[in-house]
């Protein structure tokens, strides 16, 4: 089963066993929800509480309600099994876009060489030359079957 990195435990929060998680994963809302199974240090844990706090998620796992039970997880990474995301139809992960062909209308402009995740403005880097914001102003279609991204006005972004 494929594991995906979805966040890092920054520290604990309060004395009731909550973990403070930093995540730039694009589908965080599908990960950080009650009942979801996550992996910490190769061990499966169940999320039993979740709430947002500023730019972090505060999660409780396995009904632990004491800070002493979760101190060992500080600084560790959180993973999820890909199949637990339950991607629907047109949903895709940013990581999946690597090596997709990028077209400006019908003209090939290059291939995705890097994906720069961000909650507010994710970018794709084309042939290590220029970036394209994944916004509807530029991207018109992401075709997963053909591994192709079609946009318009992309040449405006090339320096």
Residue 100's pLDDT band (cuts 50, 70, 90): very high
d(CA 50, CA 34): 7
Total domains in the chain come to: 2
Specify the pLDDT at position 52.
94
Query: Do residues 52 and 1 touch, judged by C-beta distance below 8 A?
Result: no
pLDDT at 125: 93
> Could you read off the pLDDT of 126-159 as tens digits, one per residue?
998 889 998 888 899 999 889 999 998 887 777 6
pLDDT tens profile 45-97: 999 999 999 989 999 999 999 999 999 999 999 999 988 887 777 788 888 89
d(CA 31, CA 26): 10
Q: How confident is the model at residue 39 (pLDDT cuts 50, 70, 90)?
A: very high
Are 117 and 68 in a shared domain?
no
Distance, in Å, from the CA atom of 10 to the CA atom of 26, rounded to the nearest integer, reads 18
Q: Do 24 and 54 have their domain in common?
A: yes
Alpha-carbon torsion, ordered 6, 37, 62, 75, to 10 deg: -20
Owning domain of residue 141: 94-157
Band (pLDDT 50/70/90 cuts) for residue 1 is confident
- End position of a domain, from candidates 65, 85, 105: 85
> How would residue 119 be classed by pLDDT, with cut points 50, 70 and 90?
low
Using CA atoms, how far residue 117 sits from 2, 19, 67, 74, in Å, is 19, 23, 31, 23
Report the alpha-carbon distance of residue 117 to residue 107 in Å, rounded.
Answer: 26
Residues 101 and 73 in one domain: no
């Amino acid at each position: 089963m494929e594991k995906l990195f979805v966040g890092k435990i920054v520290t604990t929060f309060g004395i009731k066993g909550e973990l403070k998680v930093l995540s730039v994963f694009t589908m965080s809302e599908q990960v950080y929800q009650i009942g979801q199974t996550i992996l910490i240090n190769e061990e499966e844990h169940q999320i039993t509480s979740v709430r947002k706090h500023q730019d972090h998620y505060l999660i409780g796992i396995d009904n632990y309600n004491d800070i002493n039970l979760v101190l060992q997880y500080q600084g560790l990474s959180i993973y999820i099994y890909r199949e637990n995301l339950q991607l629907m139809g047109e949903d895709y992960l940013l990581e999946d876009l690597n090596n997709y062909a990028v077209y400006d209308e019908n003209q090939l402009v290059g291939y995705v060489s890097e994906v720069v995740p961000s909650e507010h403005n994710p970018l794709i880097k084309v042939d290590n030359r220029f970036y394209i914001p994944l916004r509807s102003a530029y991207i018109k279609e992401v075709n997963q079957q053909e591994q192709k991204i079609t946009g318009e006005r992309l040449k405006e972004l090339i320096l």
